Amino acid sequence: MDHRFWGYAWNSFSSAAMAALLVMFLALPLAYLKSRYPSGITAALLRVAYGGYALPGVIVALGIMIFYDRFLPVFYGSLSMLVLAYAVRFLPQSMQSQDAALELVSPRLDEAARSMGQNSFGVMLRVILPSIFPGMLAGGALAFVSALKELPAALLLRPAGFDTLAVRIWMEAAEGFYTYAAPAGLLLIGVSLLPLRLILNKY
């Protein structure tokens, strides 16, 4: 291992962390709508959100490339493309975790907060978020681990010179240099165990 290895590790962890934070906050309104305001529109939004998880990473990456090329050309080739791909792919993981946490929060708590003068934002900030925060962290941890090992999107969307551990494992293994790929694989396994332990201890 050399300084390049730790650079690949930093690339993996930073992009996965940004994606995990993004999906945590994107999943919140969707999970809340599903739990408190089920409707045809909510169901349609959920189907769109779950679509990214059902599609292969290559398809998601190509769709993002087309979107950026047409509507955000100034950001084409930036790290935001990769982070967005991770978010689209793994948003459902965070949604499921938050939805499970919201099922444990009675709607009567929302009503009680509103009767005390809280608006919708106040209810979300003072009642919902503290109650489901452990579920948000669990969903974010799942998305983080999944983003760390995502290969197709990283291959297509990473900026120039921005290799992740998953990309390096694939490249070294393709050349038959398995001893060079092993440390990256071991690090991914070790890091993946930490969120898993957190989730198992919580649930």
More confident residue, 91 or 203: 91
Q: Please say if the pLDDT value at position 1 is more than 80.
A: no
Name which of 68, 86, 89, 67 is nearest 77 in CA terms.
Answer: 68
Single-letter residue type at 156: L
CATH number at residue 41: 1.10.3720.10
In degrees rounded to 5, what are phi and psi of residue 91? -55, -40
Task: Give the integer Cα–Cα distance in Å for 162 and 181.
Answer: 17
Find out whether 127 and 120 touch, Cβ atoms under 8 Å.
no
Q: Please say if the pLDDT value at position 202 is more than 60.
A: no
Number of domains within the chain: 1
Task: Give the integer Cα–Cα distance in Å for 130 and 119.
Answer: 16
Mean pLDDT of the region 125-144: 90
Q: Please say if the pLDDT value at position 203 is more than 60.
A: no
Helix, strand, coil percentages in the chain from 3-state DSSP, rounded to 5: 85, 0, 15
More confident residue, 122 or 62: 62
Domain that holds residue 172: 3-202
Torsion from C-alpha of 93, 96, 31, 201, nearest 10 degrees: -100
13-30: per-residue pLDDT in tens?
A: 999 999 999 999 999 999
Task: Give the integer Cα–Cα distance in Å for 202 and 136.
Answer: 12
What is residue 176's predicted lDDT score, i.e. its pLDDT?
Answer: 87
How does residue 201 score in pLDDT terms, banded at 50, 70 and 90?
Answer: low
CB neighbours of residue 102 within 10 Å = 19
Q: Residues 6 or more apart from 57 whose CB is under 8 A from it?
A: 85, 89, 150, 151, 152, 153
Q: Please say if the pLDDT value at position 144 is more than 70.
A: yes
